[in-house]
Amino acid sequence: METTPLLLVLSTLILSTLLYILTTTKRGGGDASHHRLPPGPKGWPMLGNLPQLGPKPHQTLAALAKTHGPILRLRLGHVEVVVASSPSAAASFLKTHDANFADRPPNTGGTHMAYDRRDLVFAPYGPRWRMLRRLCSLRLFSNKALDEFTHVREDEVLRMARSFASASGALVNVGKRLNACATDALGRALMGRRVFGEGREGEAEEFKDMVTELMVLAGEFNVGDFVWGLGWLDLQGIVGRMKRLHRRYDGFLDRIIKEHSMDCSDRKGDFLSVLIGLKDVDGEERLDDVEIKALLLNMFSAGTDTSSSTVEWGLAELIRQPDILKKAQQELDSVVGRARLVSESDLGCLPYFQAVVKETFRLHPSTPLSIPHMASDDCYVDDYFIPKGTTLFVNVWAITHDSKVWPDPLKFDPARFFSDGPAEHMDVKGNNFELIPFGAGRRMCVGLNMGLRMVQLMLATLVHGFDWAVDGKVDMEEAYGITLQRAVPLSARPTPRLEPHVYDGVKGSAASA
């Protein structure tokens, strides 16, 4: 009896090896052998190139692209993979062949954390996905909807500024306060109230840790996704961690929906009320409880962490380069003054600050390695044959760190976007493939405009409202995940620099929601 688990493991490995031999033999003599495939490094038997990815795959793949070219072919277990690592390669896949690469490959993240891919991020491409995206675009992320909630974002950013002002001179965890701000602003847009109000700071910190863990797990390369027969073993413990985290999220989302249903206030127009109302309709827009929770999961994870992490990276860079911070503060002072906080209406009048934001997105792209796409049919990209079922990754980090595209790419230099620089007219909205932190094409981030507004307003407030000091050097080490995390959270000491009354009170009657 004691040898049974070992026998099962050995049997699985033998079976996987046989399947590998059969499939590679077939692949060598099949149609693909008559086509020009992209170049790439040799891999290991059965595992392919999986052992070569390392702890920071975006950096590893960027280095491999320098040797093998901007369209790189890998074999991860039994899965054919292609990686695009230049602006032209990314445009070929996500513009020229966008429709063919609009699908997602199945994986454990979508299965165990995203309600078996019934969400928006991991859902298969098709009518159901289009309906969910259209619903979110019109009801939550349209310019009209975003304008209606301008006061909400400004209220929550003011509350954040007050919290930093009250901690004047003390060392604070910047990322957790940013995440709480982004989450509460999103919560008020989604369901008309904050997720974490007064006295629930502990819950906000726990939620930030949950979001961070989700982003790390979703970025893991799970051997069970790529090697036949090994999924049940969960060799890396990833599936077990995903299931435990999913139970925590499911409880959180159940509480959100229950509290919303028990609230008797008249908030019939908020997004969650709209979603709940779709439970009773007929036709393609009908939603069930699982689909509602899956959408909320997307909003409360991707919709908060990408914004707060980007602002944390941006502030860290400015603290490290006080001359750039001073220039940004001087511009804000000249436009806004020191008698009030910056508002969203000011942001378009701040060209240097806008360059700071773009440079933050360039040097620290929120999604360094794109969420994977999958080829629906055989196609040719730049004369390379890409077989049906191939998984595509766009290495956004490699593109934004390529010296052929960006001179001195490791330097934080907003001037490259300013004063008639070569990148002056670039934006981050998927139009310029040199800079696509939100992706591009059909599967680009649906919440781009809300995320961009939050990033700009939060960072502008931290720059305008405070001077910053740190103990020692700022650690800029990356920790890989589906979003680019900081290995060491930013801890800094804020000192208010505006007139004292600016930090008093919370403006607007909606602020007490």
How confident is the model at residue 511, as a pLDDT?
A: 34
Q: What is the mean pLDDT of residues 81-102?
A: 98
Q: Could you report the per-residue pLDDT of 388-401, keeping only the tens digit for each?
A: 999 999 999 999 99
- Residues 428, 284 contacting (CB under 8 angstroms): no
Give, as one character, the DSSP assignment of residue 371. P
How confident is the model at residue 2, as a pLDDT?
A: 44
How confident is the model at residue 476, as a pLDDT?
A: 97
Q: Is 71 a member of any domain?
A: yes
Q: What is the mean pLDDT of residues 458-463?
A: 98
Distance CA 116, CA 303 (A): 20
Q: Binding site residues, as ranges?
A: 445
pLDDT above 90 (res 423) = no
How confident is the model at residue 340, as a pLDDT?
A: 96
CATH number at residue 238: 1.10.630.10
Q: Is 150 a member of any domain?
A: yes
- Domain of 435? 35-498
Q: Is 16 a member of any domain?
A: no
Total domain count for the chain?
1
Q: Is 29 a member of any domain?
A: no
Q: What is the mean pLDDT of residues 446-460?
A: 97
Could you tell me the pTM of the whole model?
Answer: 0.91
Q: Could you report the per-residue pLDDT of 63-78, keeping only the tens digit for each?
A: 999 999 999 999 999 9
Q: Binding site residues for heme, as ranges?
A: 445
Q: Is 316 a member of any domain?
A: yes
Q: Could you report the per-residue pLDDT of 158-182, keeping only the tens digit for each?
A: 999 999 999 999 999 999 999 999 9
- Residues 111, 216 contacting (CB under 8 angstroms): no
- Report for 201-215, 250-264, 298-312: range of highest mean pLDDT: 298-312
Q: What is the mean pLDDT of residues 316-325?
A: 98
Q: Is 14 a member of any domain?
A: no
Q: Is 455 a member of any domain?
A: yes
pLDDT above 80 (res 379) = yes
3-state secondary structure of 392: strand
Q: Is 28 a member of any domain?
A: no
How confident is the model at residue 267, as a pLDDT?
A: 56
Distance CA 452, CA 317 (A): 18
